[in-house]
Amino acid sequence: MKKAIVLFSGGVDSTTCLALATERFGKDNVTALSVSYGQKHTKELEAARKIAEYYGVKQIEIDLSKIFESSNCSLLKHSTAEIPHSSYADQQKDSENQPVSTYVPFRNGLFIACAASIAIANDCSYLYYGAHRDDSAGNAYPDCSEEFNTAMNTAVFEGSGKQLEIIAPFIDKSKKDIVAVGLSLNVPYKLTWSCYEGGSTPCGKCGTCIDRKKAFEANGIQEDY
Ligand SMILES: [Zn+2]
């Protein structure tokens, strides 16, 4: 059986990736890679630990926060910027397709490169990550686009001696589609954490809370916190 590594944040998208990988390769052949990058809170990482345990997969945690020391991305602990309480589309109205303030500079590029090194050392043939169409819309998160994914896949495939391939199962799908897939796989979404704020319950107002609510409601589900 081949092996896979999953970039795993503990949110809806990456947890659904983990479910797909575990179903395909079996839990013993899947590694979840979770990254600290200097977030304002540790809710996602705590969620990731619980979910990795739920699926019985090996989890690796690495700390890359030093790399983002000079970024003022609003998700970062040292940032002076507030996390916007509006949808991505509203945030981008006046910004001419610039990334949103919660875009962590080249995060997926960095994480994929790290995951590729770990994957090759662990004989993995596939690297999963949960980028989707809603995040790349309007260039909100340019490192979630199809163009980015294609380029990274070429780099990873060639740079690994054609041993490793990227699988981005949702690259042309919406978050609503991801939730539909996850529900069919009984993903324990209650264990996931999406909110950019670190409160005891999700704020319901940040970009990712708004997106999550919409995606679940489109699947006929009202989440209660
Ligand atoms: Zn929120």
Q: Which amino acid is at 58?
A: K
Cα(158) to ligand 1 centroid in Å equals 39
Q: Is the pLDDT of residue 225 over 80?
A: no
User: How many angstroms does the Cα of residue 189 sit away from the middle of ligand 1?
Assistant: 16
From ligand 1's centre to the CA of 131, what distance in Å?
19
Across residues 210-223, what is the average pLDDT?
95
Provide the pLDDT for residue 90: 83
Bigger pLDDT: 129 or 139? 129
Q: Please give the distance, rounded to the nearest whole angstrom, from the Cα atom of residue 85 to the centre of ligand 1.
A: 8
Residue 87: per-residue pLDDT: 84
Instruction: Tell me what pLDDT residue 85 has.
Output: 87
Q: Look up the CATH number of the domain holding residue 195.
A: 3.40.50.620
pLDDT at 203 over 90: yes
In a domain, 101, yes or no: yes
| Higher per-residue confidence, 96 vs 201 | 201
pLDDT digits (tens, 9 = 90+) for 126-137: 999 999 998 888
Confidence (pLDDT) at 73 = 87
Of the chain, the percentage scoring pLDDT greater than 70 comes to 100
- 224 falls within a domain: no
> Measured in angstroms, how far is the CA atom of residue 220 from the centroid of ligand 1?
20
CB burial string 29-63: b at 16+ within 10 A, e below: bbbbbbbebbbeeebbbebbbebbeebebebbeee
Task: Quote the domain boundaries for residue 33.
Answer: 4-218
Does the residue 225 lie in any domain?
no
Residue 9 forms part of a structural domain: yes
Beta strands 165-167 and 4-7 are unpaired
Q: How many domains does the chain have?
A: 1
Establish if 201 belongs to a structural domain: yes
CA–centroid distance, residue 167 to ligand 1 (Å): 28
Let me know if residue 223 belongs to a domain.
Answer: no
**Which one is predicted more confidently, 38 or 150?**
150
Q: What's the whole-model pTM score?
A: 0.94
